[in-house]
Amino acid sequence: MKAIFAAPVRGDDPTLQWARRPISQVMTRPVVATDVDASLDQAMAAMLHAGVRHLAVVDAAGRCVGVLAARSVAAAWSADPAGLTAVTVGAVLDHDSATVSADARVRDAARMMHARSSDAVAVVDDDGTPMGMFTSSDLIRLLAR
């Protein structure tokens, strides 16, 4: 039987080129952000309006303090549908959310996402201001090219 795919020579593997790209080249922009003190219904409205599943969460100084996933909003809604107006983003935010710098490599972001069982990382500048978002959808789009 004839092999369909030949194993590439180490170092010449075109499938690994994506891994070395700077995250700033493949992240989703502009980043959609919400304030840590915003209500979950405001955050959900922002997600729906922008067509995204993740929001960068910023403090009063505009620094990224985490990533809010749509599944966190859904979990809070299923626990108390009427409570979305009273619960703040900060109350459900995983403050250990991953952030990466714009010069990080795609591989590093993917490894961080895997280690944290996360499907998104916020890309931040040197001051911690969000610049973009890198999600599992971005990774799949990159691999599918």
* Domain layout of the chain by residue ranges: 27-144
For 113-141, letters b (16+ CB in 10 Å) and e give: beeeebbbbbbbeeebbbbbbbbeebbee
CATH superfamily of 27-144: CBS-domain (3.10.580.10)
C-alpha distances out from residue 101 to 28, 73, 107, 125, 134, Å: 14, 26, 13, 6, 11
71-100 pLDDT, tens per residue? 999 998 888 878 888 899 999 997 777 799
**pLDDT(3) > 70:** no
**pLDDT(4) > 60:** no
DSSP secondary structure, 109-137, as one string: HHHHHHHTT-SEEEEE-TTS-EEEEEEHH
**pLDDT(34) > 90:** yes
Mean pLDDT value of segment 57-64: 96
Q: What does the mean pLDDT of the chain come to? A: 87
Residue matched to tokens 């993917």: 110
Verdict on whether the full-model pTM lies above 0.75: yes
